[in-house]
Amino acid sequence: MRVLLVGGGGREHALALGLADDPSVEAVIAAPGNPGIAAVAELRDVAAADPGAVAALAVEVQADLVVIGPEAPLVAGVADAVRAKGIAVFGPSAEAARLEGSKTFAKEIMTAAGVPTARAYTCTDAESTAKALDDFGAPYVVKNDGLAAGKGVVVTDDRDAALAHARDCGRVVIEEYLDGPEVSLFVVTDGEAAVPLLPAQDFKRIGDGDTGPNTGGMGAYAPLPWAPAGLVDEVMADVVHPTLTELRRRGTPFAGLLYVGLALTAAGPRVIEFNARFGDPETQVVLALLETPLAGLLHAAATGTLAAHPPLRWRDGAAVTVVVAAEGYPASPRTGDVITGADRAGIIHAGTRRGADGALLSAGGRVLCGTATGPDLAAARDAAYALVSGVELAGSQHRTDIAAAAVDGRITVPAGG
Ligand code: AMP
């Protein structure tokens, strides 16, 4: 199978490693890819969110499967354009990707499907915003209604800051605060059949102890030793299948990767958000543990044959990834600095590029991450930090507490969660 992978971040590097490892894959072509992906794939330049350009490239490289990594191309209709060429594509249609592209649409689907989530109001002016904030009380949760690369959400006790974020965004969703540990569950689906991957946890805030502003994600681990038995089955029954059924009923089935972000509250699991693609950096840890060949799984979802796919096999042990971010991230990351020590197995490239002299340079906020597996979470964590400590990048930052609370047994799920 020839696979065209669209995107060029850490998630795509992890996907590229998984695809290249699949014995049924003859070649991986990544567009635009990154210097890490270049080790396992041929790189092609493309405007990833241009449906016509990606579809033309898929035809040119004779792809048997196109895998779309990031959300922007999905929302722009890249999957539709590739499918229209008769090529199998892993990634939902633009219509179905609205589950991620619009928080209001996601709420509408959840309400129609009876999916447990936070109560919410969509607001466009100061008056309705203030009323919604006061209705729910602190902590305030204010979400940009459109795509914001995981950074459009402000959770704060400061009412003025909540109002200011709403004003900056224009159209926002304001919702009740969900209290409880968070879980990311990835589900591979062809629109009807649905296969959950291992639950993972990511770290959204920039600082240790979950302090500072939200980011695209600063680290992750899987599996979750503290997750209640039966959690995945419960989420499949109460969230995933009702959502897929509602989207089929509307004539816009969701085929691809349904990412369910949950809070395990005292009232039970509640959906925080849906994404229409693999999460970054959770993908790095989940795929590090997946033994089942990746391309075969994604091809089955892309061709409506997932029900016939054999059950997934997982490696024993755990995986941890630690993100190294540029100085100034998330507000104003500095780019163009030289990176050394990154040419090692387990280093996943996110925001990197090659300079004219071949030197590896930082080119984004989240620059790279160290991903390691181990017989248990503590061993995987230590190995991931050992990888990161070998990387040099002036002014870089990383959290020092990825997976620490889970290793120390400090995560508790409220009764009922
Ligand atoms: P989102 O982009 O919707 O995933 O939100 C980013 C992060 O903000 C989540 O991972 C949560 O940590 C936090 N968050 C979002 N919605 C809520 C909520 N209703 N209650 C508590 N935290 C939330």
Ordered DSSP codes for 392-406: EETT-B--S-TTHHH
CA 153 to ligand 1 centroid distance, Å: 7
Contacts of 154 (CB under 8 A, 6+ apart): 140, 141, 142, 143, 161, 162, 165, 214
Choose which residue among 100, 153, 157 to substitute to test ligand 1 binding: the one with the highest number of ligand atoms within 8 A of its C-beta.
153
Instruction: Provide the residue-wise pLDDT of the chain in tens; the chain has 417 residues.
Output: 999 999 999 999 999 999 999 999 999 999 999 999 999 999 999 999 999 999 999 999 999 999 999 999 999 999 999 999 999 999 999 999 999 999 889 999 999 999 999 999 999 999 999 999 999 999 999 999 877 655 588 999 999 999 999 999 999 999 999 999 999 999 999 999 999 999 999 999 999 999 999 999 999 999 999 999 999 999 999 999 999 999 999 999 999 999 999 999 999 999 999 999 999 999 999 999 999 999 999 999 999 999 999 999 999 999 999 999 999 999 999 999 999 999 999 999 999 999 999 999 999 999 999 999 999 999 999 999 999 999 999 999 999 999 999 999 999 999 875
Evaluate whether 248 touches 255 at the Cβ level (below 8 Å). no
CA 79 to ligand 1 centroid distance, Å: 27
Distance CA 45, CA 54 (A): 10
- Ligand 1, atom 3, residue with closest C-alpha: 273
pTM over 0.75: yes
Ligand 1 within 6 A of CB of 196: no
Q: Please report the atom of ligand 1 found closest to the CA of residue 275.
A: 4
Contacts of 141 (CB under 8 A, 6+ apart): 118, 153, 154, 155, 174, 175, 176, 177, 178
Contacts of 256 (CB under 8 A, 6+ apart): 68, 74, 79, 90, 91, 92, 96, 189, 276, 277, 301
CA 253 to ligand 1 centroid distance, Å: 26
Residue identified by tokens 């060029």 is 8
CA 232 to ligand 1 centroid distance, Å: 20
Query: Residue 149's pLDDT is what?
Result: 57
Ligand 1 within 6 A of CB of 64: no
How is residue 200 annotated by DSSP?
Answer: B
- Ligand 1, atom 15, residue with closest C-alpha: 272
Query: Residue 151's pLDDT is what?
Result: 57
CA 262 to ligand 1 centroid distance, Å: 9
Q: Please report the atom of ligand 1 found closest to the CA of residue 270.
A: 19
Q: Please report the atom of ligand 1 found closest to the CA of residue 202.
A: 10
- State yes or no: cis peptide before 228, omega within 30 of 0: no
Query: Residue 148's pLDDT is what?
Result: 66
Query: Residue 152's pLDDT is what?
Result: 84
> What is the SS3 assignment for 233?
helix
CA 288 to ligand 1 centroid distance, Å: 25
Q: Please report the atom of ligand 1 found closest to the CA of residue 103.
A: 3
Query: Residue 417's pLDDT is what?
Result: 58
- Ligand 1, atom 2, residue with closest C-alpha: 150
- Cβ burial of 161 (10 Å; 0-12, 13-18, 19+) is middle
CA 396 to ligand 1 centroid distance, Å: 25
